[in-house]
Amino acid sequence: MLMTSPRTGSDLALVTGATGYIGGRLVPRLLAAGYRVRVFVRNPGKLRDVPWVDEVEVVEGDLGDPVSLRTATAGVDVLYYLVHSMGAKGDFESTERSSAHNVAAAAAAADVSRIVYLGGLHPDTPTLSKHLGSRREVGTILMASGVPTIALQAGVIIGSGSTSFEMIRHLTEVLPYMPAPGWVRNHIQPIAVRDVLYYLVAAAALPRELNRSFDIGGPDVLRYGQMMNGYAVEAGLKQRPIASVPVFAPRLAAHWVNVVTPIPRSLAVPIIESLQYDCVALEQDIRDLVPDPEGGLTGYRASVRLALGKERAGEVETSWQNSSVMDAPSDPIPSDPEWAGHTVFTDVKHRRADAPVDELWKVIEGIGGDNGWYSLPVAWAARGLLDKFIGGVGLRRGRRNPDRLQVGEALDFWRVETLERGTLLRLRAEMKLPGLAWLELRCEPDGSTGSMYHQRAVFFPKGLGGRLYWIAILPFHGIIFTSMATKITAKAARNARAVASAATPAALAGSVAE
């Protein structure tokens, strides 16, 4: 068990599930609201790259271990229960039941003032799917703990990284036509991740005598098929024809989801089983106690736009690496699963150059135009002609200056997006493509006389066509990008040798004699 030193401040909030989708986004909001925050995690290493890790107290442990729970709950004012075992092997219902009892007992023994739990929206029926039934049972256990509990019951959460949203995203982008069981006609009340976080923070300050569940949902009630087509519109795709078939086989459907999307089957099964129910809010009592967020609750289409905003704007780095969870909870964060977020294809090459970094940079900044692209000029010319033929800009826009580039200028069928002279050149493709593409060239010193060259091609496919396009050009990429990296570093090495040769004593003596 690992425990770091706490921050000073006011009320102490304990967040279980801080490496999960909601927990990782809730922590910075609690900090911003003035709480001291303690996180309870099984693997602290998963927090290594999150931006707030140095601002919280970290307790290592497991919900199945009462000893570590006693340590974690000591001195806590409000406890957030954000853990679920969906996707775990074996009987996840028993695991969730046992974990809930352990947390309830530890919270009561530590005299915690409030538990806040995030469960799932479900109909008022005795029979539910295993996932929804377990979520309801956990809420019941916590509310019976003797610690005042607020159980927020949310529908499909919309934001990059949410399992349900990722399933909508990938199904819509991959399938131009969707044969689906009757559940595509069931009603769902999605909610934006930012609104879920807003309610979670507000729940900690609700009157202590409250011990009950609250349904929370966004302003739109939609069929699942409407959600898919709403995503399609916001992603710039054609709406998908959806045919309802009179068969409901959750495991067969989950296997299909696993084949056509990166969602693991272990997660797809409980989600699809839950889609057989209409999941809409049966009451809106929370709005009598918590005012709507500024600007109102976020509609479904607006939620999708927020999740896609940076990707569509072409902000490559923040789209899949360095998003700020304080400003954009709908963006990916480092602790999200690998399959979360927009599909991204990359081709990465690394080469060492026997040349100082300044010589390598000269070759990088001089790329394109009359200097060409250092690999298969016939292939580049053919791609430029094709682009011109289909209405694109073509290859021969050239460049203004043979040696120096500026941010924003055209470079053949690319645009200079980022330029850190001596270090980084990032080009955004302006050719006609079924998606968005970038080419990134970097260099850095490697020893006293050498340097390292890093080359990365990045492609965000648009729909099925984008994915097929990437597959079709993979054999050419293997030749073109490999040759490009090899020839750029070789060119830098030749230039370095020429400079060194010109600086020898014999060469200098000849220059003086002349």
* 201 CA to centre of own chain: 22
Q: What are phi and psi of 55, to 5 degrees?
A: -100, 0
Reported confidence tier of residue 292, pLDDT bands at 50, 70, 90: very high
Residues 6+ apart with CB under 8 A from 252: none
Which pLDDT score, from 0 to 100, does residue 479 have?
87
Query: For tokens 């001195």, what's the residue?
Result: 75
d(CA 342, CA 315): 13
The DSSP bridge pattern shows strands 424-429 and 435-446 to be antiparallel
**Which among 126-135, 209-218, 338-347 has the top mean pLDDT?**
209-218
d(CA 238, CA 172): 10
The 3-state DSSP class for residue 290 equals coil
d(CA 397, CA 400): 9
The amino acid that residue 409 corresponds to is: E
Q: Which two tokens stand for residue 173?
A: 């982008």
Whether 367 contacts 487, CB under 8 Å: no
Give tens-digit pLDDT for 409-453.
888 888 898 999 999 999 998 888 888 889 999 999 998 789 999
Please report, for residues 71, 75, 357, the alpha-carbon distance to residue 109 in angstroms, rounded to integers and kept in the order given: 11, 11, 62
Query: For tokens 């739990």, what's the residue?
Result: 117
Please give the residue that has the higher pLDDT: either 272 or 386: 272
Query: For tokens 């009987």, what's the residue?
Result: 91
Return the axis-axis angle of helices 193-203 and 23-32, rounded to nearest 10°. Answer: 50
Give tens-digit pLDDT for 222-263.
998 899 899 999 988 888 887 766 655 666 666 667 666 777
Question: What letter does residue 311 receive in the DSSP assignment?
Answer: H
Q: Which two tokens stand for residue 59?
A: 């307790």
Reported confidence tier of residue 145, pLDDT bands at 50, 70, 90: very high
The model's pTM is 0.72
DSSP H helices, 74-214, are 92-109, 130-143, 163-174, 193-203
Answer whether residue 327 shows pLDDT above 50.
Answer: no
Task: List, in order of start, the domains of the chain with CATH numbers.
Answer: 12-320 (3.40.50.720), 345-502 (3.30.530.20)
